[in-house]
Structure 1
Amino acid sequence: MVDVAPSVTSKVTVKRRGQIVLIGINRPNIQNRIDPETYLGLAKAYYQYEHDSSLRAAVLFGHGDNFSRGIDVDAFQALATSEQPLLTDAEIIDPLPKAKGLSKPLVVVVHGDTWNMGHELHLVADIRIAAADTRFGQDENTHGRFPGGGATVRFVREAGWANAMRFMLTGDHWSAEEAFRMGVVQKIAPTAEQALEAGIEMATKIAACGPLGIKATLASAHQAVDLSEAEALSKLETQYRALYKSEDFKEGRKAEAEGRPPIYQGR
């Protein structure tokens, strides 16, 4: 049994276990949707991990029945339609970085609903483990938005153009088995508990390796991919904010509230 009991107050939990750290998304009452406070909490947890020389690997997971259903749209809407930056604290590392933010390994463990920003948090990781019940989704286009957290870059790179577009352009969801087929997940475990155990085991193996060699391996690999992606990633925030101001976005929110199919006009 993995002891990761969450705090009743913190939206992000941080628990050290030897040379690894467990970082948990802790909003199970709202399917672990990410609001600005949760996003900032993750950014601070990543910074603490990066700058603690005694920590050698991190595991990101979700408390409750789901990893995360993605962005808390209502909580982010005011921020997205303003010109205010989300992250202003100096002691942060963006969990959806415009370039790779961590120099040390990140293992992600997902289960249940893993949608939109939840899936994009998963794509940033170096190694990914899913419970058999995981339901992935990148369905922003059905709501008048688009995948603005990096899926348009990372999902395409990891799964291949047509595999990624097949799900992003239709909004269809997919299974852990399908994610494994596309190479986006490296291991499937029968249950969420066993998936987390597998993630901790993987992180423990990484932590036992030479830390300088691990960092050099990651740095070398990132040199091969980051420069070619940097321009596309740098434009995501502007593109995302523009869609939040569109009539189609407003129609998507209205249709969702009224329980009807949206009628988009392309403006």
Structure 2
Amino acid sequence: MATTAGVPSKELDWLLQELTGIEPLVLRLESFKGRETIKIRYPLPVLSQLWQQRLRQRCPIQYLAGMAHWRHFSLKVSTAVLIPRPETECLIDLAIEALQNSPKPLSGSRQWADLGTGSGAIALGLAEADPSATIHAVDCSASALAIAQHNAQKLDLAERIQFYQGSWWEPLETLKGQLTGMVANPPYIPSGLLPQLQPEVYAHEPHLALDGGSDGLDCIRELIATSGDYLCPGGVWLIEMMAGQATAVAELLRQQGSYCQIQIIADLAGIERFAIAYRR
């Protein structure tokens, strides 16, 4: 039934694993059948209803389970936040590598900004990868921030991350010129392409986190124009972008004049996915 509905049947196994705690091998071998009782979060009729939502409404399995795996974290998610993608995991490693390769010595305590934090995934990844740094996580959505704060507390990283509600750099006015780096996965999908996305994305994920304007570059332009005021000399500017946007993003960075050593990095699939630059 799942396969004919265009939904991989393995997703049912994943949902059951998350809602019952049954290990994958136990589920695959059906050795759980010998147990007298199995604790589950929801009654069987509710589980059936959730699966029907997946099949008929194409609701993402992560929203049904209320969580998503990212790096080695298990993160709470809801329709208030974008489901963190595997390719975005590369941002953390790229950020740390870029920091080490900065053209100017970066002294003092390190401070990172995660702009548009959503579930808090990037902020959490940075906090873990750079243990002595302070992370400033910003989102315009109060609902998203509540989820990000929950995830930080659950992972014992809340003391390392400061959360702010507002638009991009706006809440960080007092930190101008002090940021070691900025990492963001901004909305970058052209408005006209949104209806062509998979129904799981278009019908359920927040368009605020997807819609990048007519050419997909509205938010990226904003980050290029404003980040120079907040990054310290040698500070890292790093974003994720859509396939096909690399040339335009690199040119915008060059034209702005505040950045040097502009690089385009491909993801594991060979798609030009990330742009890195340094504050002059």
Q: Which TM-score applies when normalising by structure 2?
A: 0.28
Which structure shows the higher strand fraction?
A: 2
Higher RCO structure (Cα 8 Å, ≥6 apart): 1
Q: Which TM-score applies when normalising by structure 1?
A: 0.28
